[in-house]
Amino acid sequence: MPITSAAAANSSPNGTAPAILLELVDEQGNTIGTAEKLAAHQAPGQLHRAFSVFLFDEQGRLLLQRRALGKYHSPGVWSNTCCGHPYPGEAPFTAAARRTYEELGISPTLLAEAGTVRYNHPDPASGLVEQEFNHLFVGMAQSSLRPDAEEVGETVFVTPAELMELHAGAPFSAWFMTVLDAARPAIRELTGSAGGW
């Protein structure tokens, strides 16, 4: 994938691992600065821009991913199709499409904005905090998945009933239900009333 100007700002010319910067925002979602990724997530957390993607198959089933065990934050838990942070100056829509491709090897179709949600979710296991102004997106997964094993441990498509069964017995990300509930109106518009979402 070609390097965008936003990605170039997060790359290092000397070959060392670059600092990953996040876009800090105010309560209205206006950009007010940047912070290093880990620092932004350390308690009490700094409010930053994020995105969450919900993709569905032709049967209206939601694509979930179980985060890889090597992830620094919330490893091994189930969550929505894809989530992450735009680079400073990168449009959330662009970031959502980019990360879905990087993590799952697919380009979503019919990807549409589904509103925003602001939340503060501490992660007791790591001590990190998700203070996020989250841009939501819904769309379709219409090609074969090619997950990056460093990012994704497992994937599954679920109906609403299967989701509730899985959610009752397996660990999920702290933010999952918040972003799912906020995206439900757009999900219902995409999948139809018969989908049960």
Cα distance between the two ends of the chain: 34
Q: What angle do CA 67, 105, 116 make, to 5 degrees?
A: 65
Residue 166, classified by CB atoms within 10 Å of its CB into exposed (0-12), middle (13-18) or buried (19+), is: middle
Please identify which of the residues 82, 83, 90, 103 carries the catalytic annotation: 83
Residue 138's nearest CA partner among 76, 166, 96, 175 is 96
165 annotated active-site = no
82 annotated active-site = no
Are 158 and 122 in contact by the 8 Å Cβ rule? The answer is no
**DSSP secondary structure, 123-178, as one string:** -TTT-BEEEEEEEEEEEE--S-----TTTEEEEEEE-HHHHHHHHHHS-B-TTHHH
Please identify which of the residues 23, 90, 130, 132 carries the catalytic annotation: 132
- Tell me the C-alpha distance between 104 and 148, whole Å: 6
Q: Which residues are designated catalytic?
A: 83, 132
